Amino acid sequence: MEHIEISVLSNLERSSLLARTARVPINMQAIFSDTTSGYVFPQEPARGEDVRIRLRTARGNVDSVRMVFEGGEYIDENLRSHAYFTLSVEHSTDLFDYYSVTIPKLIGRISYAFQIMKDGRAYYYNRRGLRPNVDKDYNFVVIAGFKTPDWAKGAVMYQIYVDRFRNGDAGNDVVDGEYEYLGLKATRFANWGQLPQNMDVCNFAGGDLQGVIDKMGYLEELGVEAIYFTPIFVSPSNHKYDIQDYDYVDPHFGVIVEDGKPGDNLYAKRTTDRANLEASNALMIKLIDTARKHGIRVILDGVFNHCGAFNKWIDSERLYSDLPDYEVGAFVSRESPYHNYFRWHNSTSGWPGNESYDGWWGHKNHPKLNFEGSRELYDYIMEIGRKWVSAPLGIDGWRMDVAADLGYSLDFNHKFWKDFRKRMKDANPEAIILAEHYGDPGRWLQGDEWDTVMNYDAFMDPVTWFLTGMQKHSDEFRSDMLNNAQAFEETMCREISRFTAGSLQCAMNQLSNHDHSRFLTRTNMTVGRLHTHGSEAAGIGINKAIMLEAVVIQMTWPGAPTIYYGDEAGLVGWTDPDNRRTYPWGKEDRLLLDFHKDMSRIRREHATFRTGSLMFLHGEFGVLAYARWDDEKVFVIIVNNNFTDKTLCIPVWRAEIAPSADMYSVIKASKGGYSVTPALYRVAGGHLEFEAKPFSAEVLMYRRPC
C-alpha cells in the first residue's frame, strides 16, 4: 500500500480511510467447542476410528484455525510427526462459522487446544476459554477405545441406605442384644421414625431388600433409572462397610429361613447358615428382576480396600471357627490359609488373637486387604466383581469405596483397577465402574480403569458453596463462597477438564449422601454436627427455596443426578450418622416430592440434559445463567440465590438461539413453590431480558426450527 499522509486529508477522507482499514476485534463470546457429540464425532470413538472435531467462531471473524495437540503417537503413523491439524469451514449460519477437521485412525489419547489466528495474532482456546497461551491442564481430551455405558449417561439415580429405607420383612430384623460390636450391643429401633444416635453403628431400623421391592413402583414414579445401594453384604454394622462375607447378601437384609435355637449364637447362625445366605441371594435376584421390569438398573457398593474384623478370613469373633464349611481365620491362627490376606506388624507370635494387622486409617474393625501379599486374595476379589455383574445375579455395575486407597502403592492401585476393568467388561460390557474419589480423578479416567466417579469436585462442592456457603459436612461456613458466581464457574471449568465427555455424563451428581450432611440442612447455613447441636437443630432455619434451586441445577447439569433417599421427601440431618434417618413414609414433604418428580420427568423427556453441550451465559453475585443444547433444543437455566429481584440481560445468541425468537418456561420455582405452567419469553437482538425472583430457578426452552 502506498504511503498516505493522514494530516493532509479532509475529515471525510480520513473517516473513509479508517473505516476501510479498521480491524474488527475477535469475537470471544462466539467461540465454542467441547467434547460432546456436537463437537466430537463420534463422541467415544473406537480404537482406529476416524474422529471429526469441530470449533465454532463468529462468522467471518477469524483468519484461520489449527488444532494443536499432544498424543501424536496415537494417530495414524503417516501423521505422527505433525504437531497440529488445520481446520476448514465445514458450514456457516447467519451468526457462526463451524470449522472442522478429521483425525484419521485414532488409537489412543489426544489432548488438544485450538490455535486461532486473527490479524496476525495467535489465540488459544480450550476449556479455560480464549487465552494468549495454552494451559494444557484445561485441554480437551478424547480417548479412542474409552467407552462408558450409554444407559448411565445422564441417568437419574437413587441412593438407598438399606437399613433406613423401608422394612418389608420383620422376620429378618436384628434382635436386641443379638451380638456386640465395637463395645455396643445390637439394638432394634423402638419405632420407624427413631432418630440416629451419636454412636449409631449397631442400631437397626429394619430396612431390607423386601422393603425396596415393595417400593419399586414408587421409585419408577419418581423417575429413577438406577439404584445405587450402599453395601448389602454380610456385616455387623448398619452401614456394612465392614464386610464379613463378599459372596452373600446379609440375611438381615435378605431372608432368614433357619433361625437360632435357645443356647445358639443367634448372630452366627443367622449370618453363616448356608440356607439363609442362599435365600438372601435369591431375594437379591428377585429384586434385580423386579427393578428391570420397572426400567431400573442396580449398582452395588464394592468395598475392596478393606473388609471387616468379623470377616471369615480374619474371624476376630470366631464366628466361623467351629463350622465345618469354613477355614480357620487369620486372627485365630498363624497357619490360616488367609494369613497373607492381611499385613502383620508381628508375624511370628501373638496367636490366637493377634491384633497387629493393618487397619484402614488405623481402624481395627476395617482390616486393610493385602493384595500385594496374596495372589489368592487378588483373584478372589476379581472373581467377586465378575460374579455379581454376571448371570444369574447380573447387577449393572459397582460403586467402589475409597477406590484410590486400595493397595499399598499407587502403581499397584492402577494395576488392580486395570485388571478389574478388564474382568468386569469381559463379563458385562455395560457394567459401570464408578469410584468414590475426592480430588483430581484424571489419572484413573484414561480409558482402562474407572468409568467415572462420585462427583464431589465438579458438582457437590461447587453447588454447595455457591448456594449455601457451607462445606459439605456442615463443618464450615464461608461468606466469600456464598453466591460467588465467578468461583463457581472457575471451579466447574477446572474440574470438568479432568473428564472425558462420557465420564462426565456418567458422573454421580449428588446433593447429599450417607457421608455428608443433608443438603436441606446446609441451607440453614449453620456450622454443626449431631453431637454439638442435636437432631432438632438440623431442621431449624432451613430454606426450602434454596433446595429447589439446587434440584434444578442437579437435574439440568451434565452427569447422572443422584437423589439420596429421603432428600425428595424433605429429610434433614447433620453429617454421619444423622444423615441416615429413616425415610418418612406417609410424612413426606409433598412440595419437594412433587418437584423432584417433575424435574426428573423433564430431564428424562429431553435428551439434551443427558448429552448436550454446556455453556455459562451470565454470572454475577448470587446469579447463574447457563445453557444446555443439542441439534434439536436449547435450554437456558437461570438461578437467583439473592433476597431481591434481579433484572438480567442474558446473551442467549451464544447458545445458538435466533436473534428474534420465542422461548417457553418449562418449570419455575421460587419461595412460593413451583409451577409447570408454560410462560412465553421473547428474545430480541439475541438477548433475553429477564426478571429473576428472589431464591428462584427457571428452565426455559427454545426449539430449533426444522
pLDDT digits (tens, 9 = 90+) for 450-471: 999 999 999 999 999 999 999 9
Mean pLDDT throughout 586-607?
Answer: 98
* Tens-place pLDDT, residues 600-618: 999 999 999 999 999 999 9
Q: Which of 250, 379, 341 is nearest to 387 (CA)?
A: 379
In this structure, are residues 286 and 168 in contact, taking their beta carbons and an 8 Å threshold?
A: no
Residue 431 pLDDT greater than 80, yes or no: yes
If you average pLDDT over residues 36-53, what whole number do you get?
96
The Cα–Cα gap between 181 and 241 comes to 14
Q: What is the mean pLDDT of residues 208-226?
A: 98
Dihedrals phi, psi of 526, to nearest 5 degrees: -115, 125
pLDDT on residue 24: 87
| pLDDT score of 76 more than 70 | no
Q: What percent of the chain has pLDDT over 90?
A: 91
Residue 325 C-alpha from the chain's centroid: 40
The pLDDT of residue 73 is 65
Residues ≥6 apart with Cβ < 8 Å to 357: 314, 330, 331, 342, 343, 344, 345, 364, 367, 368
Alpha-carbon distance 277 to 303, whole Å? 19
Mean pLDDT of 177-195: 96
Of the listed ranges 73-77, 227-231, 433-437, 678-682, the least confidently predicted one is 73-77
Q: What is the pLDDT of residue 72?
A: 64
Amino acid code (one letter) for 83 = A
**Grid cell for residue 288:** 434385580
Average pLDDT of the chain, as a whole number: 94
- CA distances to 64, 112, 504, 595 from 136, in Å: 21, 8, 19, 41
Strand positions, DSSP E, 184-334: 184-185, 187-188, 203-204, 226-229, 233-234, 245-249, 297-302
Name residue 359's beta-bridge partners.
367
pTM of the model: 0.95
pLDDT value at position 20?
45
The number of residues in the chain equals 706
The three grid cell numbers given for residue 602, joined into one nine-digit string: 423433564
Please report, to the nearest 10 degrees, the dihedral formed by the alpha carbons of residues 142, 146, 148, 153 taken in order: 10
H or E element at residue 331: none
* Mean pLDDT of the 93-107 span: 95
**pLDDT above 60 for 42:** yes
Q: Give the pLDDT confidence of 403-414 residue by residue, as tens digits.
A: 999 999 999 999
CA angle 609/612/615 to nearest 5° reads 100
- Going from the C-alpha of 579 to that of each of 139, 253, 538, 591, the distances in angstroms are 38, 20, 10, 21
For residue 9, the model assigns a pLDDT of 56
**Of the listed ranges 83-87, 250-254, 279-283, the one predicted with least confidence:** 83-87
Query: Phi, psi at residue 170, to the nearest 5°?
Result: -70, -15
Above pLDDT 70, what percent of the chain?
95
State the pLDDT confidence band at 8, using cuts at 50, 70 and 90: low
Q: What is the DSSP letter of 306?
A: B
Least confident of 63-77, 131-145, 201-215, 691-705: 63-77
Does 14 score more than 90 pLDDT? no
- Kindly give the interhelix angle for 461-468 and 544-556, rounded to the nearest 10 degrees: 150
pLDDT band at 82; cut points 50, 70, 90: low
pLDDT score of 163:
98
Q: Is the peptide bond before 367 cis (omega within 30 degrees of 0)?
A: no
CA end-to-end span of the chain: 48
Mean pLDDT of 282-311: 98
Query: What pLDDT was estimated at residue 59?
Result: 97
What CA–CA distance (Å, rounded) separates 22 from 160?
A: 63
Beta bridge partners of 323: none
Which position has the higher pLDDT, 76 or 533?
533
User: According to the model, what pLDDT value does residue 2 have?
Assistant: 44
Q: Return d(Cα 620, Cα 489) in angstroms, integer.
A: 11
| Residue pointed to by grid coordinates 482406529 | 48
Residue (of 341, 416, 423, 339) closest to 384 by Cα position: 423
Residue-wise pLDDT for 353-373, tens only, equals 999 999 999 999 999 999 999
At residue 69 the predicted structure's pLDDT band, cuts being 50, 70 and 90, is: confident
Q: Give tens-digit pLDDT for 250-275.
A: 999 999 999 988 778 999 999 999 99
